[in-house]
Structure 1
Amino acid sequence: MSAPAPVAQLAALADDTRWAILGLLGASPRSASDLARELPVSRQAIAKHLAVLEQAGLVAAERDGRAVRYRALGASLSALADRLDAIGRGWDARLARIAAIAEADPRS
């Protein structure tokens, strides 16, 4: 199976609750019940949010005895961050070229 597209990953992150979940999972793996205790969201809603994040390849579920713990996938998050950084660097380069043109001495 191929890696999820950045668009799917960004869509998964377009929710404040999923951002909060990802932040908590970045600190340590947690179960859906653990997350529900830490966030003002029902366990059922947490499970749905986790499914979206898992489908986007941003978290992974791991069985821990009878519990299922979720963890953030650092490699996926880093790859997404790298793609966003490359876009930002491209914009920075374009803006620098525009600034150079705007600041150029027209007498030259």
Structure 2
Amino acid sequence: MTDADDRLWAAVTEPGRRGLLDVLLARGEATPTALAAELPFTRQAVSKHLAVLLGAGLITRQREGREVRYAVEPDRLHDATQAMITAANRWDARLNAIKGLAESLHRADPGSEHHRAPPPR
């Protein structure tokens, strides 16, 4: 995994940042003040979350006079989605392998102590 991947995962694992991304997706773009009005964070907390998202490449910023407006970076969001799909597929394969192993062990010895319910107390 690369540093960019680590930054991406760190950015999207925090629920507040995912909420911030949702608001940006719905609005198209917004200032930190507008985001703070829609989220249960202070403007300072919004700014910190924006910095992490910016560092992960998930958003862009553009200065308009005294204001800075943020928007989602669609290509990077697509990359993030694909990375999550790939990770989910790997976990599904691992879990299916574990399930298959457990089922084959059960078929090989269905009466073993490992498969019996514990005695009542």
TM over 0.5: yes
Larger radius of gyration: 2
- Please indicate the TM-score interval, normalised by the length of the shorter structure: 0.7 to 0.9
Partner amino acid, structure 1, of 2:50: L
The answer as to 2:6 corresponding to 1:7 is yes
Extract unaligned runs of 5+ from structure 2: 109-121
Q: For 1:17-28, what aligned pairs fall within 5 Å after superposition?
A: 17-27=16-26, 28=28
Task: Among all aligned residue pairs of Structure 1 and Structure 2, give the percentage whose two residues are the same amino acid.
Answer: 36
Q: What TM-score, normalized by structure 2, do the two folds share?
A: 0.69
Structure 2: how far apart are the matches of 1:26 and 1:19?
Answer: 10
SS in 2 for 1:60: strand
Residue 4 of structure 1: CA displacement?
A: 5.5
Q: For 1:79-98, what aligned pairs fall within 5 Å after superposition?
A: 79-93=79-93, 95=96
Look up the match of 2:64. Answer: 64
Partner amino acid, structure 1, of 2:51: A
Structure 2: how far apart are the matches of 1:22 and 1:44?
Answer: 16
- For the aligned residue pairs, the C-alpha RMSD in angstroms reads 2.5
The answer as to 2:67 corresponding to 1:73 is no
Structure 2: how far apart are the matches of 1:45 and 1:87?
Answer: 29
Structure 2: how far apart are the matches of 1:52 and 1:43?
Answer: 14
Partner amino acid, structure 2, of 1:17: G
Residue 12 of structure 1: CA displacement?
A: 1.5
Q: Name which structure has the greater RCO, CA cutoff 8 Å, separation 6+.
A: 1
Look up the match of 2:45. Answer: 45
Contact 1:29 1:70 in 2 (8 A): yes
